[in-house]
Chains A and B, each alone.
Chain A
């Protein structure tokens, strides 16, 4: 199942993306090259307009690059999308209000044609994974924001794609909830060994979660630094007070500042 470690799961080579707007073309991505290996936890960080979300959407096949090459599982992104290669978590939970939590998680399974029994099995399994087992019959609007976002992660996990793409999934939550969800996300990643692409604008979040931090800068959107994290895979919350952590965070901040000054 798992591809050999040396062939990247996601591979971008000098990717360009230019949006045609009414007044002038906007270069959202310029010459972006990046390899992501199986089991990596990659964060994309940068100020708004740096193209981090755009890059994630390119990987998902929701945007089409105007230049360069991009492969996901060795396929073009659009093909990978149709092969259901990844689960995607948006900024907001985006659960359908007319479906229960369990019904929402079943949604992709129904579309992909799983049997009823299989659907129920999988719903139970991913609900347990995000610790929402008791809430399957509730409606989204009866749950807190943090619980809703956990349900949306469960929805992305339900069909067992090897890749999980997350676009600032915790951006709208308060810090205490966010810490808790970060911890849970790491535990989940350790258990499932998925490849995760994670967009954020929080430096501590990026450093705490990632094996690889991609620092991006705006106008035009590009990669200004890629930091391999030396932190161990096992990360308690208080690792954030360790000198290594603080050093990486410092390097990220330097990278962001450098990107800003020449913008």
Chain B
């Protein structure tokens, strides 16, 4: 009971503190902007820990954060193996192939107006579909190992990337294109000097969306069959064994991998599209 009460008190104290910080005189500084969400996250973890202990929540429903952390560190070798299988082999290779193919396809589609008008509606349509559903088919075609996961990822990232890149290549203004015409510039000069640079914000948008899709595709595809390793495999078998601490440890890995992947792409974006109004300093 004391633990539950203290969880409540800590929650109220955090909220008071954050309200003061957020409305205080230094609210706009970088430090406070990072501190406030950090306090919020920490409080959730602490309250979670206290509530699980105080209410004696069984492990099969919700393990305490400390328990998850302990499992995370003691099972590091297994987690690393799963990470290698799912992320490095499945998600990453599929991401590179899928985004690369979509980029080339986008340039082709953009070159031929007929293709653009035909493929773009189809691409937009497909981008909204539950493509994860192709996972069982691709697992059957490409086997249980990482190749089928990469194939699912390719299919998942292809259309969002295609649609974004094509939209980006359309992004130039009439005046910019006229300027290139006054120089007598041909297709390739216009593409490399004007349209690709102008498309960069859109291309990176596609790349960022695809990071999350890649991880989802690789994990969910493992629910349809995999070798005895991989994050999706571990999650579904650990759930079956009611080893929820292991499931949460995998979720921690997935969260870390997902945000790091996204972060790397976002960093690359910031250094390439520094000129875009949303990035200017």
Contact = CB atoms under 8 A, between A and B. Distances in A.
Same assembly? yes
B222 to A, nearest CB: 40
A96 B276 CA distance: 10
Interface in B178-193: 178-185, 189, 193
B79 interface: no
Interface string B154-181: 0000000000000000000101101111
A97 B184 contact: no
Interface in A93-147: 94, 96-98, 107-108, 110-112, 139, 141
Nearest to B273: A98
Given A62-B182, A108-B183, A98 B275 contact: yes
A86 interface: yes
B193 A88 contact: no
A84 interface: yes
A231 interface: no
B30 interface: no
Contacts, number: 53
B176 A84 contact: no
Nearest to A112: B183
B184 A81 contact: yes
Interface residues of B, number: 22
A94 B179 CA distance: 9
Contacts of B198: 96, 98
Given A90-B175, A92-B175, A111 B183 contact: yes
Given A92-B175, A94-B176, A98-B200, A62 B181 contact: yes
Nearest to B194: A96
Nearest to A155: B179
Contacts of A61: 181
A86 to B, nearest CB: 7
A82 B189 CA distance: 14
B193 A111 contact: yes
Contacts of A94: 173, 175-176, 179
Contacts of A108: 183
Given A94-B176, A98-B273, A110 B193 contact: yes
Contacts of B136: none
Contact of A62 (B178, B197, B276): B178
B182 A86 contact: yes
A84 B184 contact: yes
Interface residues of A, number: 24
A2 B275 CA distance: 41
A15 interface: no
Contacts of B183: 84, 107-108, 111-112
Given A62-B182, A86-B182, A98-B200, A107 B193 contact: yes
A60 B182 contact: yes
Contact of A141 (B178, B273, B280): B280
B182 A88 contact: yes
Contact of A97 (B178, B182, B193, B275): B275
B175 A81 contact: no
Contacts of A110: 193
Contacts of A81: 181-182, 184
A90 B175 CA distance: 7
Contacts of A60: 182
Interface in A74-89: 81-84, 86-88
Given A97-B276, A98-B200, A82 B182 contact: no
A215 B205 CA distance: 49
A110 B186 CA distance: 12
A37 to B, nearest CB: 22
A161 to B, nearest CB: 9
Most buried by A among B173, B178, B280: B178
Nearest to A80: B184
Interface in A185-235: none
Contacts of A62: 178, 181-182
A214 to B, nearest CB: 21
Contacts of B200: 98
A150 to B, nearest CB: 16
B178 A90 contact: yes
Contact of A98 (B178, B184, B189, B197): B197
Interface of B: 173, 175-176, 178-185, 189, 193-194, 197-198, 200, 273, 275-277, 280
Closest 4 CB pairs of A and B: A97-B275, A88-B182, A82-B184, A98-B275
Interface of A: 60-62, 81-84, 86-88, 90-92, 94, 96-98, 107-108, 110-112, 139, 141
29 contacts: A60-B182, A81-B182, A82-B184, A83-B184, A84-B184, A86-B182, A87-B182, A90-B175, A90-B178, A90-B179, A92-B175, A94-B173, A94-B175, A94-B179, A96-B176, A96-B194, A96-B198, A98-B200, A107-B183, A107-B193, A110-B193, A111-B180, A111-B185, A111-B189, A112-B183, A112-B184, A139-B275, A141-B275, A141-B280
